[in-house]
């Protein structure tokens, strides 16, 4: 069984085809999908999809792009929303200095609030980071010093130095369709060296479709293509990669029913 550890099933791209998307994922061997929250104000829609499909779980959080426009979340609000059995993580949250769609201070404040909620609840935090490695590493180091928490660097696309920092802090890394792109050789080299027990796979669908679907709508079924490429660069079978990444997911997202 494979797990798509990061998709956005509430996005309009799937509105007219959600049953088909979920069915195709199942036929591709994807047994669990984690649909990620990006807006507190849209959490009811995310949760409704998770309640509708047995194999779909969800998270609650505010994407860094939305940190300047969403009502600021409190730790108490996040903890309350995470009390639902289908809500298994916080985020996605983090820092995005590439697009800078929200003030950086608001991004940092929101990120720390999500980490605090994760620490208190004992649930993982799903971390988005782009062009912010120095600030991200500093916040992770500081917050881990305030008390341990678990988490995942989703759609990992940074270099080996940041990978080393994240792994040292006990975090997991998730490979997306980016690692199948022809220009991603350095990323493949980094992912080939990550301990197998700290790797997950994802689609980030509807974005970042792996080859040969690059440029088209992504969907959870395509996580099998990313997993196959990841298995290839690591020199193991697809079955072994699926077994390891699924075990890692269930260890990290411990609230998910086996």
| 160/167 Cα distance (integer angstroms) | 10
Annotated binding residue at 84? no
| 66/129 Cα distance (integer angstroms) | 14
Q: pLDDT tens, 125-157? A: 999 999 999 999 999 999 999 999 999 999 999
pLDDT-derived band at 117 (thresholds 50, 70, 90) equals very high
Mean pLDDT of 42-47: 98
The SS3 call for residue 169 is coil
Annotated binding residue at 43? no
Domains observed in the chain: 2-252 (3.20.20.140)
Annotated binding residue at 161? no
Q: What is the pLDDT of residue 13?
A: 97
Report whether pLDDT(258) > 90.
no
Q: pLDDT tens, 48-93? A: 999 999 999 999 999 999 999 999 899 999 999 999 999 999 999 9
Which class for 59: exposed (0-12), middle (13-18), buried (19 or more C-beta within 10 A)? buried
Q: pLDDT tens, 4-20? A: 999 999 999 999 999 99
Q: pLDDT tens, 165-222? A: 999 999 999 999 999 999 999 999 999 999 999 999 999 999 999 999 999 999 999 9
Q: What is the pLDDT of residue 257?
A: 86
- The pTM (predicted TM-score) of the whole model is 0.98
Residue 48 DSSP class: H
**Torsions phi, psi of 170, nearest 5?**
90, 10
| 112/11 Cα distance (integer angstroms) | 26
Annotated binding residue at 83? no
Annotated binding residue at 39? no
């Amino acid at each position: 069984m494979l797990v798509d550890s990061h998709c956005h099933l509430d996005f309009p791209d799937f509105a007219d085809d959600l049953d088909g998307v979920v069915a195709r994922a199942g036929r591709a061997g994807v047994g669990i999908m984690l649909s990620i929250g990006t807006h507190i104000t849209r959490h009811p829609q995310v949760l409704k999809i998770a309640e509708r499909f047995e194999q779909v779980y969800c998270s609650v959080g505010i994407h860094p792009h939305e940190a300047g426009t969403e009502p600021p979340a409190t730790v108490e609000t996040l903890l309350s929303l995470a009390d639902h059995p289908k809500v298994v993580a916080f985020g996605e949250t983090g820092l995005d200095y590439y697009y800078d769609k929200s003030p950086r201070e608001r991004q940092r404040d929101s990120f720390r609030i999500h980490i605090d909620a994760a620490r208190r609840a004992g649930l993982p935090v799903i971390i988005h980071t782009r062009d912010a490695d120095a600030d991200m590493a500093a916040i992770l180091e500081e917050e881990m010093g305030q008390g341990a928490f678990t988490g995942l660097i989703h759609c990992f696309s940074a270099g080996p130095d940041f990978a080393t920092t994240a792994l040292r802090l006990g975090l997991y890394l998730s490979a997306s369709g980016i690692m199948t792109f022809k220009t991603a050789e350095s990323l493949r080299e980094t992912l080939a060296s990550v301990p197998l027990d700290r790797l997950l796979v994802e689609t980030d669908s509807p974005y970042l479709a792996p080859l040969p679907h690059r440029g088209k709508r992504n969907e959870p079924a395509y996580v099998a293509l990313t997993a196959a490429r990841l298995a290839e660069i690591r020199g193991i079978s697809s079955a072994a990669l699926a077994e390891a990444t699924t075990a890692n997911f269930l260890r990290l997202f411990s609230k998910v029913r086996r």
